């Protein structure tokens, strides 16, 4: 099940995010902020809220993905996530060239 979250200010939506639980691990993703609302702290608020929901659901661990060097990575680091940079995964072609 995917849970959806929306951050509002003065009745206006600012940002949205999602969370699912897989084997007691909260998977945070699907975050987006309206361009006019960027920098207002909506994603940080949504991250904090999803972490509290995950704890309430008994999840001992949370994971998320984000683009390298993005504001999302900075938000995750600020909230205590360990940042692990990954290299791109490639699938070898099964056809001969």
| Alpha carbon distance 55, 43 (integer Å) | 18
| C-alpha closest to that of 63 among 30, 29, 27 | 27
Ranges of residues in the chain whose predicted pLDDT is under 50: none
Q: What does DSSP say about strands 25-33 and 2-9: parallel, antiparallel, or unpaired?
A: unpaired
What is the model's pTM? 0.82
- Identify the H or E element spanning 48: helix 42-56
Treating both helix axes as pointing N-terminal to C-terminal, what angle do 42-56 and 71-78 enclose, rounded to 10 degrees?
50
Residue 67 pLDDT = 87
Residue 8 pLDDT = 95
């Amino acid at each position: 099940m995917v849970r959806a979250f929306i951050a509002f200010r003065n009745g206006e939506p600012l940002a949205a995010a999602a969370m699912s639980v897989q084997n007691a691990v909260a998977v945070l993703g699907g975050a987006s902020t309206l361009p006019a609302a960027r920098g207002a702290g909506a994603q940080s608020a949504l991250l904090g809220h999803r972490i509290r929901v995950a704890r309430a659901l008994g999840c001992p661990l949370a994971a998320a993905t984000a683009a390298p060097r993005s504001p999302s990575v900075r938000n995750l680091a600020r909230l205590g996530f360990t940042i692990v940079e990954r290299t791109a995964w490639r699938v070898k072609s099964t056809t001969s060239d």
